[in-house]
Amino acid sequence: MKRLTTSAALIALRRFLLVIFLLGIAGISVELWLMGHYEDFYQQIPLALSAVSLVAIAAVLLEPGRATVNLLRVIMALFLLSGMIGAILHFQVNMEFQLEMDPSLTGVALYRKAILAKTPPALAPGAMIQLGLIGLAYTFRHPASRGGSVDPPEGMETQ
């Protein structure tokens, strides 16, 4: 069995992360679109970030460099932020709905009902956080981020 060099393994891993990211973006975008998750500004953020991330990925692939990798990192940080804000917004909507349904709910009972509500799912925005982390992993020690060549360096043959 042939062993990959360290640099070849990192290239393969980076490509795998990119494929996971792209499949995740496709899945989330289609789901959000089919659910009509575009009624207000906040609902449009995940769809807009998905579109912008595709442009940034294309830029990294077509013109790899420090600027394009850093742009992608900023967009991935926005994915993390949007996931956190989305979870808060989903939870707040659920709290309000549960209180409308039963104004006597308080404390743990209210929290439990709100976090387990099916619509909107309180933890669904966590998918944006996952995608942001995958995108950041893709950019981790990316050769273009150091202003160097994207090709693997010669003589990096380790186990």
> Which pLDDT belongs to residue 148?
55
Q: What angle do CA 85, 90, 95 make, to 5 degrees?
A: 125
Q: What 3-state class would DSSP assign to 69? A: helix
pLDDT of residue 95: 96
Cβ of 45: how many Cβ atoms within 10 Å?
21
Per-residue pLDDT of the chain (159 residues; tens, 9 = 90+): 677 787 889 999 999 999 999 999 999 999 999 999 999 999 999 999 999 999 999 999 999 999 999 999 999 999 999 999 999 999 999 999 999 999 999 999 999 999 999 989 999 999 999 999 999 999 999 999 887 545 544 444 433
Position 71 scores a pLDDT of 97
Measure the CA–CA gap between 14 and 141, rounded to whole angstroms.
10
What pTM value is reported for the model? 0.85
Structure tokens given for 75: 């967009």
How much is the pLDDT for 73? 98
Which pLDDT score is estimated for 152? 47
pLDDT at residue number 2: 72
